[in-house]
Amino acid sequence: MSDRKNFLVSVVLLVISIAGFAYSGISGPSSRTWPSKLVIIEASTSDELYSIWTSSGISGLRIVNMSSFLNYSEPEVQEGYMPTPEGKAPYTDMSALLHSEVNHANYLWAAQESGIARSIEHIVPATTFSQKAAYARTIPGIVVSERGIELSDYGTPRVISSIYAGDDEPVMLNIDASYFDNADMDEFLSAIGNNGRLKPVIISLYYAEDSPDVTENGRKALKDILPMLDDIYLNGLE
């Protein structure tokens, strides 16, 4: 990890540890926890990214994920049995599953299962969204609206769109390098919007060095937007 990455990881952990930040109980017993000041972090791999998220103590956030992929593949679940007064009952050991290897295809699923994500908005490049929307319209029960493709996974709301469709609630913005393999800077700026509705409290830049589907051009483009993110979100420029 670079010196900048080490510094940024230290900052995010420190800010979340000592700053007044908690907001709890907005929807039932679930807590929502985030830092009081915006922090920007970088991660080379999905395992590194997920480790930062879990060790930071953040929870219950809406994750806005910019990627060419959904990064939500559910791994195969190992079923087991637990003793009951009536004998044995099947169960799924989710804790063991979540401690197994997190990869580029499933890190958002892991974030949802571990309580980091309360809901997820997938922002994909426009060409990718057009393909997914056309396919979704052929599947009964899936809603394709002006907001995007609306999904729900065991109670976790998810939407797939090409432009941020949410409100101004605090979010974690994760930018996957794969996004820039299919979108340029103008599309990126249009997707995050200039209306001020996107309010990230954490921005993570994931370089996807563990993904064979991401190019070096995509990683370079992601690296190049870092100064711009500093200006937009840390220095308050529109």
Residue 26 is assigned to a structural domain of this protein: no
Give the DSSP letter string of 57-118.
T-BSEEEEEE-SS---PPPPP-EEEEEETTEEEEEE-HHHHHTS---TTTHHHHHHHTTSEE
In a domain, 107, yes or no: yes
Instruction: Quote the number of domains for the chain.
Output: 1
Question: CA angle 159-162-5, nearest 5°?
Answer: 90
What does the pLDDT look like over 156-192, one tens digit per residue? 899 999 999 888 889 999 999 999 999 999 999 999 9
Give tens-digit pLDDT for 46-82. Answer: 999 999 999 888 999 999 999 999 999 887 655 554 4
76 domain residue, yes or no:
no
102-148 pLDDT, tens per residue? 899 999 999 998 899 999 999 999 999 999 999 999 999 899 998 89
Rounded to two decimals, the pTM is: 0.81
Inter-residue contact 218 to 180 (CB < 8 Å): yes
| Residue 154: inside a domain | yes
Query: Considering the domain boundaries, does residue 152 fall inside one?
Result: yes
Range of the domain at 128: 3-17+31-70+93-234
